[in-house]
A and B are shown apart, each in its own frame.
Chain A
Amino acid sequence: MNAASLRIALVGNPNCGKTALFNLLTGSRQKVANYAGVTVERKEGRILAPSGRNYQLLDLPGAYSFDAASPDEAITRDICSGAHPDEEAPDLIVCVADATNLRLHLRFVLEVLRLGRPVVLALNMMDAARRRGIHIDTEELERRLGVPVVETVAVHRHGAKALIEHIETREPESAARAGAVDDDRDLHQQVRELIAAAVQVPPMASRIDDAIDRWVLHPVFGLAILGVLMFFIFQAVFSWAEPLMNGIDAGVSGLGAWVSGLLPAHSALHSLVQDGIFGGLGTVLVFLPQILILFLFILVLEESGYLPRAAFLLDRLMFKAGLTGRAFIPLLSSFACAIPGIMATRSISDPRDRLTTILVAPLMTCSARLPVYTLLIAAFIPKHSVLGVFNLQGLVLFALYFAGILSALAVAYVMKHLRRDKSEHALLMELPAYRFPHVRDVAFGLWQRVKIFLRRVGGIILSLTVLLWFLSSFPAPPPGATGPAIDYSLAGRLGHALHHVFAPIGFNWQICIALIPGLAAREVAVSALGTVYAMSGTDDAVASHLGVLIAHQWSLATALSLLAWYVFAPQCMSTLAVIRRETNSWRNVALAAGYLFGLAYVASLITYQIARLFT
């Protein structure tokens, strides 16, 4: 076999610095996808060695043991042992172990060695180990394990030199050397012997972590730090992103106007390009700054080791509601947009916890609901001050956010009691040592998420917007028609038909029509209402005129009912598309859409009927 096609796999415990090593070895030559049939991330890259040769590198999911406790670990076990149906066993396994935590990591190394495959052990974070005064006798380790041992420092530019040299110069025979590992003896006992023979660890190597954790995990200060941090992130996501979002919005619509200006005016093609394609592109891209900023914070918190600490602090609360502490970050992300939130649930390795989190994520008040809330609150809620300090408008907005959170907890709680599998699912979460986030790893992580967002989600949203454009534009109004064009279209007819369904909750036919283009993205409903009421101009102008208009035409009960509807707002197709992507199941999509629709309808019905009694 020729060396250029050598397939190498990276395996190791979670938190061993495996992904940083992968980034260092492959640079930008990476491809991220899923393993067939499961939503476990498959990361593959190419090593371009100084000799000019290429090696294929697979970054297997982190595992504590081959006694797999999650789909991720099962993938790692199957590929390493050659039992995976689609993936061939690797030619060489690079087993990565954190040099500062060999007591834990060597046990898994021994499990890998028992497979009897060609293995090289990479002792990663050797710089940190030296700083802490940990001395490792690599020759003794090599002798006892029977496999080559190299030192790596994934955060240094040349930190993988020894590993690459080893891959380049290794002789096929030496690699096939079976591990000198005893198959029957207790692994922990063997690890103890290895450490006694080859590793010297000074006592108290974790003093800094202890000092930080004393504050960060403190029952009072810890929660306060978490609160301040979240507040800061929220501020950043909304205020830093705003100028960028306006810029993107203006840029895309400007480009759309320029491109469609080349086409005959008032033609279907003109409208398709301007409203369908560029309008759709705008709704996708406009969320990119928020998603970027949010993911930047999440990645930095994740790399530094803080995220599992936040999960630790909140686990009790979330567990009572049928969730897990790990659901905290995905749910937090969902306040910007449910799409990155649902994407972030990949950090929850337990499938049942992950599904619950995915299903309640759309209940977090995403930023696309804000334009609708702002319009209705400004039009219907008076600016009274309450108790001298609070503003009634602000209180209503707060109540809407709060209603979202409460209903998410309630839905998770109900799901916990309804599901058939009531077995105990463990938290058992490692809190890694604190470390400074590395720019390269954060940048790669950010770039990958943006790619996923644009490629997977962008395509779906774009095609849906074009479809909805078609529904709202055809058939064209007959000559001499007086009403707004959308009234004559398929969407208009659908809106009138829907009116029968929505009359009990107080929606008029204009709202029903606006709900249809709102399927693409919730905030589109505002400009759609503008279209229905035959107004033109910029979004802001439409919103301010629209506010005055609907304040006269709608009853307060209708407005409150629409607000209640938007707390649950099941009509975001992009979210449903991502649920399909991330769970691989139409059943879950139907479940999410069904329960959200049901809740929205019931909440609006109750709101409308009660509000009518009082107004």
Chain B
Amino acid sequence: MSVQLSDLPKGAQAVVHTVEDAHPDDLIARRLRDLGFVEGESVRVVARAPLGGDPMLVQVGYTRFALRRNEASRVRVKDEVTA
């Protein structure tokens, strides 16, 4: 059972399942994959911005990326505990 990365609370850890294209030829999805959001990679929600938690700060590998909700919703993750 996979969920969207954008739905994870601050501090949550998960493993990337896949990055879905929001539309054909989705540059943003391609860029997410280039940046290391690929299957099996573990991610952690480091922080969420003030006023609604958007954007969120996600650590993948040793790098932290600020992702807006729409960007993060392309990433499907599996909960580390339940996976």
Contacts and interface: CB of A to CB of B under 8 A. Distances in A.
Bound pair (A, B): yes
B7 to A, nearest CB: 17
Interface stretch (A423-431, A438-446, A467-475, A595-603): A423-431
A6 B22 CA distance: 45
Contacts of A223: 50
Contact of B65 (A206, A217, A428): A428
Given A107-B34, A319-B68, A426-B71, A100 B62 contact: yes
A464 to B, nearest CB: 41
A308 B31 CA distance: 19
Contacts of A427: 55, 66-68, 71
Contacts of B48: 219
Interface in A425-468: 426-432
Interface string A204-229: 01100110011001111011000000
Nearest to B27: A69
B51 A217 contact: no
B36 A428 contact: no
B71 A430 contact: no
A315 B68 CA distance: 9
B65 A103 contact: no
Interface string A168-201: 0000000000000000000010000000000001
A316 interface: yes
A222 B50 contact: yes
A305 to B, nearest CB: 10
Given A107-B36, A188-B38, A315-B49, A428 B28 contact: yes
Interface string B47-61: 111111011010101
Interface residues of B, number: 33
A214 B55 CA distance: 16
A64 B31 contact: yes
B67 A312 contact: no
Interface residues of A, number: 40
Interface string B13-41: 00000000010000110111111101001
Nearest to B33: A188
B34 A312 contact: no
A317 interface: yes
B47 A429 contact: no
B27 A101 contact: no
Nearest to A132: B62
Contacts of A222: 50
B28 A424 contact: yes
A54 to B, nearest CB: 36
Nearest to B48: A219
A429 B50 CA distance: 17
A425 to B, nearest CB: 9
Nearest to B39: A188
A64 B55 contact: no
A316 B34 contact: no
A313 B46 contact: no
Contact of A103 (B50, B52, B61): B61
A88 to B, nearest CB: 27
B4 to A, nearest CB: 16
Interface of B: 22, 27-28, 30-36, 38, 41, 46-52, 54-55, 57, 59, 61-68, 70-71
4 closest residue pairs by CB, A with B:
A103-B61, A219-B50, A217-B47, A65-B34
26 contacts: A65-B34, A67-B31, A69-B27, A101-B63, A103-B36, A103-B62, A104-B35, A104-B62, A188-B41, A206-B59, A214-B47, A217-B47, A217-B49, A217-B57, A312-B47, A316-B52, A316-B54, A325-B66, A426-B27, A426-B28, A426-B31, A426-B71, A427-B55, A430-B63, A431-B57, A431-B66
Given A64-B35, A104-B36, A217-B47, 6 more contacts: A104-B35, A104-B63, A209-B64, A219-B49, A315-B54, A430-B63
